[in-house]
A and B are shown apart, each in its own frame.
Chain A
């Protein structure tokens, strides 16, 4: 029981609901993506990562199911976790449900858009389109600015 409670709390904090039944879904016109940014890459062999805040301004829950971009063959929503021993690991995050009026933050050390198999290098100062797909079949495309390799957030 305790374990279940902790699990539920963690989910609430992360707004990451995998495999839980979601109520009727809103259209993705209710999606607002803010503060998107990414870091430049060295060549194409290393994976890239992009960050943003996805806000659900609608009245119904929205489920983010996947990503697409011409920049990378395998874009995927990942989550980094750091355990109590200080060990960090990364894994696919699955689908992410965003409750009405809530937002989910893709930010360093947590959820990120992992850009695997880059088709071309990510060059500082350029942008690339990233499409977010939702379970209602809707899509939202954002232009993601590419900042320096040592960037810490959308402002730097």
Chain B
């Protein structure tokens, strides 16, 4: 397996951060190019990380294998993309009704310095009750992001604070922990629920 440094954090990311600061919002993004195989998230069974959920339980990829799972990276100091996505996810779960009870939903923070267990607990409390908030040490967050081929980086803001750039796609896994699909940020909402239904039914086909 070719290892790629998708996680740009700390010193290694300085160049990228500088570039992003300079040109980030000037860049006009074309239609998504097909992802090379190395960019495809690993199966959950091949990931290794240990985090803590918002109720203080130790969690990791093994915790969610056995049921279809939805994963989203973000942070609670995020004013736009994260509450929007968590509201979207909450809406999808409402649309699924009882079927939602068969799913795991994990919101993994990319900003553990501010997103403590308590902060996560308060924040996820405003969204659908199926959504679990996961946090933990930076190195474990980085390992998680690497497994999902997600990226994140800390970006200073005017006024001395910082924000986080991060992968905003929602990852969908079947009950075996195999990636079914990703729901991209700007995807129309009506496409999401059928994709989730596919993840809910795929466990039968995927069984070995």
Chain A positions within 8 Å of B, measured between CB atoms, are: 6-7, 10, 39, 42, 45-49, 73-74, 76, 78-93, 108-109, 112, 114-117, 148-152
Q: Residues of B contacting A149 with CB < 8 Å? A: 83, 126-127
Contact B77–A150 (Cβ < 8 Å): no
Q: Residues of A contacting B90 with CB < 8 Å? A: 150
CB distance from A10 to the nearest CB of B (A): 4
Within 8 A of A (CB), among B92-138: 122-123, 126-127
Q: Residues of A contacting B88 with CB < 8 Å? A: 152
- What residue of chain B has the Cβ atom nearest to residue A111's Cβ? B80
Q: Residues of B contacting A114 with CB < 8 Å? A: 79-80
**Interface residues on chain B, number (Cβ under 8 Å):** 43
Check A89/B165 contact, CB under 8 A, given A109-B185, A150-B126, A152-B91.
Answer: yes
Q: Residues of B contacting A6 with CB < 8 Å? A: 28, 30
Give Cα A112 to B82, complex, Å.
14
Q: Residues of B contacting A42 with CB < 8 Å? A: 76, 122-123
Contact B185–A86 (Cβ < 8 Å): yes
Q: What would 6 more interface pairs be, CB under 8 Å, given A39-B83, A87-B168, A150-B126?
A: A42-B122, A78-B80, A84-B30, A87-B166, A109-B185, A150-B83
Check A88/B31 contact, CB under 8 A, given A46-B77, A149-B126, A150-B126.
Answer: no
Q: Can you show 23 pairs from A to B with CB atoms below 8 A apart?
A: A42-B122, A73-B159, A76-B158, A81-B25, A81-B27, A82-B29, A85-B167, A86-B182, A87-B166, A88-B81, A88-B166, A88-B185, A89-B20, A91-B25, A109-B84, A109-B185, A114-B79, A117-B159, A150-B86, A150-B90, A150-B126, A151-B87, A152-B91
The count of A-to-B residue pairs whose CB atoms sit within 8 angstroms is 113
Q: Residues of A contacting B29 with CB < 8 Å? A: 81-84
Contact B158–A74 (Cβ < 8 Å): yes
- State whether the Cβ of B58 lies closer than 8 Å to any Cβ in chain A: no
Contact B159–A90 (Cβ < 8 Å): no
The answer, among A49, A86, A91, A117, for a CB contact under 8 Å with B79, is A49
- State whether the Cβ of B157 lies closer than 8 Å to any Cβ in chain A: yes
Give Cα A87 to B167, complex, Å.
4
- What residue of chain B has the Cβ atom nearest to residue A45's Cβ? B77
